Amino acid sequence: MIRRATLADRPRITEVRLAVRENKLSAASQAKVDRTADWIFENGTFWVWEEAGAVQGFAVADLRDGTIFGLFIHPDYEGRGIGRVLLPKACEDLRAAGFSAATLTTGPGTRAERFYRTNGWPEIGRQDDGQIIFRKSL
């Protein structure tokens, strides 16, 4: 089932985020993500994939700047097309908020990089730390 997240989903969303094999959070990054997640839960949009009685994946749109803040699937549920279903939901929210394009970043050489390239996200540059910047028209 795909649905909007509620505050009751937050502990499981955190579990999913911490379970990923790539793009793991350092302790310092986790605090930043938690602070941003506070804002997004109040003002942005979280979409979740629920299966077997729990959230197994989520996508997050940040309506402040037109970015996809996150797309994460629990490792036990990878490869099922969940990300391809959730990501458009987050993009729809950005479009509804008035953005004509969505932007996101991810590490080079990752499965995420391959996912975004395969799903039509053009690379538009690199950050100083090497992160790839993708942008897709909405």
* DSSP states along 74-129: -GGGTTSSHHHHHHHHHHHHHHHTT-SEEEEEE-TTSHHHHHHHHTT--EEEE-TT
Q: Report the pLDDT value the prediction gives residue 20, as an integer from 0 to 100.
A: 82
Q: Report the pLDDT value the prediction gives residue 22, as an integer from 0 to 100.
A: 79
pLDDT at 109 over 90: yes
Task: Say which CATH class 2-137 falls into.
Answer: alpha beta
Mean pLDDT of 119-129: 97
Q: How far is CA 34 from the centre of its chain?
A: 14
Mean pLDDT of 108-112: 94
At 15-48, the pLDDT tens digits run: 898 888 777 767 667 776 667 677 777 777 889 9
Q: Report the pLDDT value the prediction gives residue 41, as an integer from 0 to 100.
A: 76
Task: Give this prediction's pTM.
Answer: 0.88
**In this predicted structure, which of 28-32, 96-100, 132-136 has the lowest mean pLDDT?**
28-32
pLDDT at 4 over 90: yes
Q: Report the pLDDT value the prediction gives residue 49, as an integer from 0 to 100.
A: 98
Query: Residue 21 and residue 19: Cα distance in Å, rounded?
Result: 7
